Amino acid sequence: MANKHRKEPQVIDLFCGVGGLTHGFVREGFKVLVGYDSDASCKFAYESNNAGTKFIHKEIENTESKEIASKYRGSGARILVGCAPCQPFSLYTVKQQKDEKWKLLLEFQRLIADVGPEVISMENVPELSRHPVFEEFVAALRKLGYHVSYSVVFCPDYGVPQSRKRLVLFGSRFGQIDIIKKTHPKSRWRTVRKAIARLAPIKAGERSLTDRIHQARKLDATNLERIRSTPAGGSWSDWPKRLKLDCHLRSSGKTYRSIYGRMKWDMPAPTLTTHCTGIGNGRYGHPDQDRAISLREAALLQSFPRRYKFVHPKEKVHNKLVSRHVGNAVPVRLGRVIARSIRKHLEEVNLSARQRSSHKGSEKRADGSRQNQRHRLGTAR
């Protein structure tokens, strides 16, 4: 097994979506063989932006281990990565041990146990780490012989222009993988301005003439007045009373300060969700244009490249569908961080193996030299 890392490693991505994690690995020079996902609508974006990587529309619970194992070719390190859908890991369900959707994590565990990849990684919501099922998952991996490490990552520290926190887990049969050092101190965080300021201005309900997914949802007259009454970084609490909803006027409404909010130019965006292009779902208003962020802006805040294709040229752009694709994705820059951490680990293992080999060779040569010396002394006598 010690020689596995010397050949080109190969990656399979489970729960791949439109390819945020896969694209991160591709950008770091890894060969990603296939991506699995239960949502067939992700196929175009996944394959169009990750040339040579095949999308397989299949539910993980219906995928046999031998099928996964057969996808790997050659003798390089086999890497299995994935992010089980995080809906069951909400604050509400953290306390629910028997939620059926926990099975996706357990299915991931099943495939790891049966396939036995040399390296694994999982990205998910931080709340998962507080659930007993996660402790059981980690214990099972260690029992299988993996060195397991995990941490909660604050995405701006790694160049993602979004205040997203994610749980990142690594497992390796070669030794512990440590996530690479932070790449962006606070003074160099990527902000909303750095991510989207260069896009052409558009109005609510409009679409750019040069970019089909740089389009924003239409707003009715009342919501248009509401967004105009919202300053950068503000929310519904800044509106005049006549624009506020009844729920805002109740005491319980004070806990929802972020909805109908605007982003700030010089801060990272809030955590994006599958509803990130609607002003009523969070602080998703554009910093100074009177609308919610566009689909392209959401993708850029998820650190997808500007030219990432989400919709076939001959198909209509469905805002809700693309919003879901973007919101569910692993930020590409976080994918690159995960890939770099694994690459660094494999290089260190490779170096250690070469050093051990060199040391053994030196010992062998030294032993041979001592034997020759004893032979020469014996002949002289």
Please indicate, yes or no, if residue 371 is contained in any of the structural domains: no
Work out the average pLDDT over 235-250. Answer: 79
Contact yes or no for 163/268 (Cβ under 8 A): yes
Name residue, tokens 């554009």.
Answer: 286
Whether the predicted pLDDT of 374 surpasses 90: no
Query: Are 102 and 173 members of one domain?
Result: yes
Query: Are 78 and 174 members of one domain?
Result: yes
So what's the pLDDT on residue 241? 86
pTM: 0.88
B/e letters for 277-298, b = 16+ CB within 10 Å, e = fewer, are bbbbbbbbbbbebbbbbbbbbb
Please indicate, yes or no, if residue 369 is contained in any of the structural domains: no
Please indicate, yes or no, if residue 127 is contained in any of the structural domains: yes
So what's the pLDDT on residue 6? 55
Report the distance separating Cα 191 and Cα 220, nearest Å: 29
So what's the pLDDT on residue 207? 96
Instruction: Report which of residues 184 and 242 the model is more confident about.
Output: 184
- Between 110-119, 306-315, 366-375, the lowest mean confidence (pLDDT) is in 366-375
State which of 285, 312, 328 marks the end of a domain. Answer: 328
Q: How many domains does the chain have?
A: 2
Query: Are 304 and 336 members of one domain?
Result: no
Whether the predicted pLDDT of 255 surpasses 70: no
Q: Which two tokens stand for residue 226?
A: 């509401």
So what's the pLDDT on residue 251? 56
Q: Which residues are catalytic?
A: 86
The burial of 179, by beta-carbon neighbours within 10 Å (0-12 exposed, 13-18 middle, 19 or more buried), is given as: buried
Query: Are 93 and 203 members of one domain?
Result: no
Contact yes or no for 200/210 (Cβ under 8 A): yes
- Between 80-84, 178-182, 236-240, 278-282, the lowest mean confidence (pLDDT) is in 236-240
Name the amino acid, one letter, at 272: L
Whether the predicted pLDDT of 364 surpasses 60: no
Please indicate, yes or no, if residue 336 is contained in any of the structural domains: yes
Whether the predicted pLDDT of 112 surpasses 90: yes
So what's the pLDDT on residue 54? 97
Please indicate, yes or no, if residue 370 is contained in any of the structural domains: no
Query: Are 320 and 337 members of one domain?
Result: no
Whether the predicted pLDDT of 376 surpasses 50: no
Report the distance separating Cα 286 and Cα 266, nearest Å: 12
Residue 199 gets which letter from DSSP?
S
Could you tell me which of 123, 258, 264, 262 has the C-alpha nearest to residue 193?
264
> What CATH number corresponds to the domain at position 282?
3.90.120.10
So what's the pLDDT on residue 84? 80
Tens digits of residue pLDDT in 144-165: 999 999 999 999 999 999 999 9
Q: For 304, left (φ over 0), alpha (ψ -120 to 50), or beta? A: beta
Whether the predicted pLDDT of 354 surpasses 80: no
Query: Are 276 and 206 members of one domain?
Result: yes
Work out the average pLDDT over 53-59. Answer: 97
Query: Are 347 and 324 members of one domain?
Result: no
Query: Are 98 and 152 members of one domain?
Result: yes
> What CATH number corresponds to the domain at position 41?
3.40.50.150
Please indicate, yes or no, if residue 77 is contained in any of the structural domains: yes
Query: Are 282 and 340 members of one domain?
Result: no
- Domain encompassing residue 154: 4-188+331-358
Query: Are 206 and 256 members of one domain?
Result: yes
Please indicate, yes or no, if residue 79 is contained in any of the structural domains: yes
Report the distance separating Cα 84 and Cα 128, nearest Å: 11
Query: Are 120 and 206 members of one domain?
Result: no
Task: Name the band, by pLDDT with cuts 50, 70 and 90, for residue 7.
Answer: confident
Report the distance separating Cα 118 and Cα 146, nearest Å: 8
Report the distance separating Cα 301 and Cα 288, nearest Å: 16
Report the distance separating Cα 217 and Cα 228, nearest Å: 15
Query: Which residues are CB-contacts of 260 (< 8 A; sequence separation ≥ 6)?
Result: 226, 227, 230, 235, 236, 239, 279, 280, 285
Please indicate, yes or no, if residue 141 is contained in any of the structural domains: yes
Query: Are 10 and 133 members of one domain?
Result: yes
% of residues, the chain, pLDDT over 70 = 83
